[in-house]
Amino acid sequence: MKAYLDAVVGTLRGLLGDRLVGVYPAGSLVPRTPYGTLLPVVVSSVAAQAGPGGDNAVLNACRALRCHALGSWASKPDAGAWALGHAPAHREVIAEALASHARDRAAGPRIDAPRARAFLDHVLGRISGS
């Protein structure tokens, strides 16, 4: 994956130099990466965030779950809102994470760690097929 990202950065530098990336459609600059290629990276990312249990970990897990289901990435708030309807057993911790994120993460560390961990375990099980 690192080689792929290095190639993308090199391509962008070659094409754009010091110009802004935002003026080019992303699809014309970076090829779509197959989900099977991304899956190990997504699983590793969710697993690595399982410790602290803050809003960032919960909302990134929402993004992973949504990407697994729909095949596209979303912002943390959009993925969290989507996950509220797709992980009903974890609605409370998702709602806490969304509220914390909306407050500019001022309460991030106060997300209930055991419930956050349970949600991340749920997501890991869903996206890794176990």
How high is the pLDDT of residue 33? 76
Reading the block at residue 25, the tokens are 């459609």
Model-level pTM? 0.74
Dmax over CA atoms of the chain, in Å, equals 48
Reading the block at residue 28, the tokens are 């014309």
Instruction: List the chain pLDDT tens, one digit each, 130 residues.
Output: 556 666 666 666 666 555 555 555 656 666 777 778 888 888 888 888 877 668 889 999 999 999 999 988 889 999 999 999 999 999 999 999 999 888 875 555 568 889 999 999 999 999 987 5
Ordered by start, the domain boundaries in the chain are 1-32, 34-127
- One-letter-per-residue 3-state SS of the chain: CHHHHHHHHHHHHHHHCCCCHHHCCHHHHCCCCCHHHHHHHHHHHHHHCCCCCCHHHHHHHHHHHHHHHHCCCCCHHHHHHHHHCCCHHHHHHHHHHHHHHHCCCCCHHHCCHHHHHHHHHHHHHHHCCC
- Taking alpha carbons only, the member of 43, 41, 76 closest to residue 62 is 76
How high is the pLDDT of residue 14? 62
Asked if residue 111 lies in contact with residue 58, where contact means CB atoms within 8 angstroms, the answer is yes
Reading the block at residue 123, the tokens are 């997501």
- Taking alpha carbons only, the member of 128, 114, 107 closest to residue 45 is 128
How high is the pLDDT of residue 27? 60
